[in-house]
């Protein structure tokens, strides 16, 4: 699926959303400038606008599941699944899911972790959209794509509320999956 840039958000809408994102210096470690989406989702209008802009490129794309990562990805993932009239698959940190799981390891921009997804959560051949609040280096989303592929799913796209362009996560995801990446608010550096 190609994303048509003529259908993307207006600069005014993006500026409105960017104004709702709080920057928290030195969290969770010194030197990290954390992009806090709680201020965006607390504003009903901003939350609706952001969800609409995240969903728009994928309307009519025959998405059969939305997979989102714990914890902030759940905020957007469940709402997008409802907007796209499909199911939601939670991707969690180890020990949080009650049944048998598949697991993938990944590196963060400030550490390492693992993700798990229930075995059988994705049907063979299902078209899956991967959702998270923020794209940094792409490790979390790439691990999620690996889990989707392990279960026989097809990653048809990635969507994020925020993208830290200077960390090149988009290039990593496109190279690893070939799927389009759509982000609403871009942070240059």
Residue ranges of the chain whose pLDDT lies below 50? 5-6
Q: Which domains does the chain have, with CATH numbers?
A: 5-187 (3.40.50.2020)
- Exposure b/e, 108-119, CB count within 10 A at least 16 = b: eeeeeeebbbbe
Tell me what pLDDT residue 106 has: 86
* Residue 139 CB-density burial (10 A; 0-12 exposed, 13-18 middle, 19+ buried): buried
Q: What is the pLDDT of residue 6?
A: 47
Question: Exposed (0-12), middle (13-18) or buried (19+): which is 85, by Cβ within 10 Å?
Answer: exposed
Q: How many CB atoms lie within 10 A of CB 18?
A: 16
pLDDT given for residue 112 in this prediction: 81
Q: What is the H or E stretch that residue 159 is in?
A: strand 154-164
39-54 pLDDT, tens digit per residue, is 999 999 999 999 999 9
């Amino acid at each position: 699926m190609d994303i048509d840039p003529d259908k993307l958000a207006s600069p005014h809408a993006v500026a409105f959303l960017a104004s709702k994102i709080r920057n928290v210096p030195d969290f969770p470690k010194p030197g990290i400038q954390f992009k806090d989406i709680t201020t965006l989702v607390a504003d009903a209008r901003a939350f609706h606008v952001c969800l609409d802009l995240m969903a728009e490129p994928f309307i009519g794309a025959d998405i059969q599941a939305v997979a989102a990562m714990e914890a902030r990805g759940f905020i957007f993932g469940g709402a997008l699944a409802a907007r796209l009239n499909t199911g939601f698959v939670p991707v969690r940190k180890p020990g949080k899911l009650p049944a048998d799981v598949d697991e993938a390891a990944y590196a963060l921009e400030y550490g390492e972790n693992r993700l798990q997804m229930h075995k059988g959560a994705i049907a063979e051949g299902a078209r899956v959209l991967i959702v998270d609040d923020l794209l940094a280096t792409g490790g979390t989303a790439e691990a999620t794509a690996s889990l989707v592929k392990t279960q026989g799913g097809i990653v048809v796209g990635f969507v994020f509320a925020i993208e830290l362009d200077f960390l090149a996560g988009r290039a990593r995801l496109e190279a690893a999956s070939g799927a389009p990446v759509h982000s609403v608010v871009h942070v240059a550096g």
